[in-house]
A = this chain, B = another copy of it.
């Protein structure tokens, strides 16, 4: 393979660009497990995840695991064998979560989707109203499906659920959206939400997060799915060693602490605005490419287009994998490929976490060059369009800089 020079531009939708500060925080010896420093660090991470999940009561848990581990924590702590759960498809992850439920002994009902639209709140309401006996013990949704680039409206789904008075637990997979798109556990009456370190949390993969409402904690007392490593109750022990059911993943916590510091410095509202603005720029660029008719953004409804990741459908005559391969091998630019039913039909650009204007502009430029090299018809000028979008939305708080 040819030499690849310059930093790799990681446009994968997870893991993402890790800030230098976060990487540097891991560059240290291990410390004693019971030391004041480690206990304090772990406590602060657990506590500081709460405002990120926008939960005040309830509990947060950090696992040495990935997002799938967080799912298992969510399910196994709050449900019992044979429980029915309602799952909605907006991409690959709803189905995967349902599959896990099945492995664990639950009975998922899977509401299929076309991967190009978010969850329809009306469909949620209708299904729940039909469940007169309250057989569903939990409703599972994915806020942002990384495969499809669809962000469903959690608030609207929540409202639909509330309107029916259905008592099922409301669980949200926020792995790809946490700290990129607003999620309000308290306000939206979410019972369990799950996240992971390697997306908008800007940290290395290896940590998974679960936040559980008071109601979910109460359910866990009655839930009978067998569990130990994932067990919430055990992890609420006053002794820090139990918080991780054994040895804490120290270096990943060092990294997480630094990432949370950065999030606190910027502020969640600013972070959401930044993601919105940069994602708008990416979409402006994609729409330019789309003009030639050979590709288009997968998510059809503008307000459902994810601020974390964009999936671009490519006419199969032209081979979406080609552009991804070219970018990887020749441009040191790593894109996401098509997953599941989009396999071979799409490529994905991640734009969450530690990103800014030049990353987004470089990404579009790099991909446009890739499209050119692969002979895939595309409109030209994605970066020009993105610049216009960014200029229009730039913060004008500071006095104009132009000469007069």
What B residues does A318 contact at CB under 8 A? 402-403
Q: Determine whether A132 belongs to the interface, using a CB cutoff of 8 Å to chain B.
A: no
Chain A residues engaging chain B, CB cutoff 8 angstroms = 2-10, 12, 14-20, 23-24, 26-35, 63-69, 72, 81, 99-100, 103-105, 196, 198, 204-206, 225-229, 231, 244-252, 265-266, 270, 274, 317-319, 322-323, 325-326, 328, 330-334, 336-337, 354-359, 361-366, 368-369, 372-376, 380-381, 383-384, 386-388, 390-391, 394-395, 400-403
- Report the bound CA distance from A60 to B85 in whole Å: 33
Instruction: Apart from A369-B387, A376-B403, A380-B384, list 20 A-B contacts with CB within 8 A.
Output: A7-B19, A8-B29, A12-B30, A15-B247, A17-B30, A23-B28, A64-B66, A68-B228, A69-B229, A103-B226, A103-B228, A104-B227, A317-B403, A322-B401, A332-B356, A361-B362, A362-B363, A375-B401, A375-B402, A376-B402
CA–CA, A395 and B373, complex, Å: 10
**A323: B residues at CB distance < 8 A:** 401
Query: Provided the pairs A23-B28, A35-B334 are in contact, do residues A403 and B375 lie with their beta carbons within 8 angstroms?
Result: yes
The reply to whether A247 and B198 form a contact with Cβ atoms under 8 Å apart is: yes
A28 to chain B, nearest CB (A): 5
Which residues in B have their C-beta under 8 angstroms from that of A23? 26-29
Q: A12-B32, A245-B66 are in contact. Are A356 and B6 (CB under 8 A)?
A: yes
Residues of B within 8 A of A274 (CB): 5
Q: Are A204 and B7 in contact (CB under 8 A)?
A: no
| Residues B355 and A322 in contact, CB atoms below 8 Å apart | no
Contacts of A2 in B (CB 8 A): 395
- Bound state CA distance, A107 and B19, in angstroms? 48
- Min C-beta distance of A355 to chain B, whole Å: 5
Total identical chains: 4
Cβ distance A142 to chain B, nearest Cβ, rounded Å: 14
- When distances are taken between beta carbons in the complex, the residues of chain B under 8 Å from A204 are 26, 30, 249-252
Complex: how many Å from CA A361 to CA B12? 19
Q: Is the CB of B390 within 8 A of A369?
A: yes
Pairwise interchain contact A402-B331, C-beta atoms closer than 8 A: no
- Could you tell me if A17 and B29 are in contact, using CB atoms closer than 8 angstroms? yes
Instruction: Decide yes or no: A15 and B206 within 8 Å by CB, A64-B64, A331-B356, A402-B376 being known contacts.
Output: no
A401 — which chain B residues lie within 8 A by C-beta?
Answer: 319, 322-323, 325-326, 373-375
B14 touches A6 (CB 8 A): no
Of B17, B103, B319, the residue contacting A6 (CB under 8 A) is: B17
A385–chain B nearest beta-carbon distance, Å: 10
- Residue in chain B with minimal CB distance to A199: B247
In the complex, the answer to whether B206 meets A356 with C-beta atoms within 8 Å is no
Could you tell me if A356 and B395 are in contact, using CB atoms closer than 8 angstroms? no
Verify B68–A65 contact, CB threshold 8 A. no
Do A27 and B29 touch (CB < 8 A)?
no
